[in-house]
Amino acid sequence: MQSFPKPLNAKEEKECIKRLRSGDKEARKILIEKNLRLVAYVAKRYVSADMDMEELISIGSIGLIKGIDNFKEDKQIRLATFCSKCIENEMLMYFRSTKKQAKDVYLNEPIGADKEGNEISLIDILESIDEDVSEKLWIEDNLKVLKKNIYEVLTPRERKIIFMRYGIPDGKKEYTQREVAAKLGISRSYVSRIEKRALDKLKRKYEI
């Protein structure tokens, strides 16, 4: 995969955004170029036989530009965090329009493959670790949002099952559906239904 410029540090980013708001077109260009690595990072999770990296980066770049143009400093989040959502939304809109993505995508369902050909899911992305600053920011902020949404939209039982299944919070042990069922004294199929309903709630909340 092609290499991209290193992202701006916080001070440089703030200065560029200030220049952009003053109508500096060069600042806008710099912000786009310096965040192309973020586009590639988001694109990696959607690479498949039907969609190559170059095409995904092209689509994601549209989302990046929208994110930069619409970013507001008073959002209390970094530009990379805001733009990552815009990039992903652009890709998801494309997938929906071309029907290349299934109607329902849950956190534990495969959404693509890594460079070794191993299947990956949204939960794999959230739990991944990378030394790139923009990527780490994206992961940390989305984990915070995920935990916040879990407490906001899930019932106590749904929350308990999600915590047990995915080791949330703080990397606790992950249990299979059968293990969860045994611990809670319910059937595995019932655990599966509750888990799917809970993940669907989180997905809808995350897309708001």
Taking only the tens place, the pLDDT of each residue in 108-160 is 565 555 556 666 665 555 555 344 445 555 556 666 777 888 888 899 999 99
Question: Is pLDDT larger for residue 40 or for residue 104?
Answer: 40
Q: Which of 28-32, 54-58, 62-66 has the lowest mean pLDDT?
A: 54-58
Under 8 Å between Cβ of 92 and 101: yes
d(CA 197, CA 104): 11
DSSP code at position 152: H
pLDDT of residue 56: 87
For 154-178, give the secondary structure using H, E and C.
Answer: CCHHHHHHHHHHHCCCCCCCCCCHH
pLDDT of residue 168: 78
Segments of the chain assigned to CATH 1.10.10.10: 154-207
Fold of 154-207: Arc Repressor Mutant, subunit A (1.10.10)
Tokens of 24: 């500096």
Segments of the chain assigned to CATH 1.10.1740.10: 10-141
Under 8 Å between Cβ of 148 and 178: no
Question: Distance between terminal CA atoms of the chain?
Answer: 32
d(CA 5, CA 36): 8
Of 38, 20, 128, whose CA–CA distance to 81 is shortest?
38
Question: Is pLDDT larger for residue 117 or for residue 96?
Answer: 96
% of the chain residues with pLDDT over 90: 24
At residue 53, the 3 state secondary structure works out as helix
pLDDT of residue 73: 78
- CATH 1.10.1740.10 assigned to 10-141: yes
Provide CB contacts within 8 A for 194, sequence distance 6+: 157, 158, 161
% of the chain residues with pLDDT over 70: 71
Whether the upstream peptide bond of residue 169 has omega within 30° of 0, thus cis, is yes
Instruction: Check whether 187 has a pLDDT greater than 50.
Output: yes
d(CA 84, CA 87): 5
User: What backbone torsions phi and psi does residue 46 show, to the nearest 5 degrees?
Assistant: -110, 5
d(CA 59, CA 36): 12
Mean pLDDT, the chain, as a whole number? 78
d(CA 23, CA 37): 24
Under 8 Å between Cβ of 107 and 201: no
Tokens of 9: 């540090």
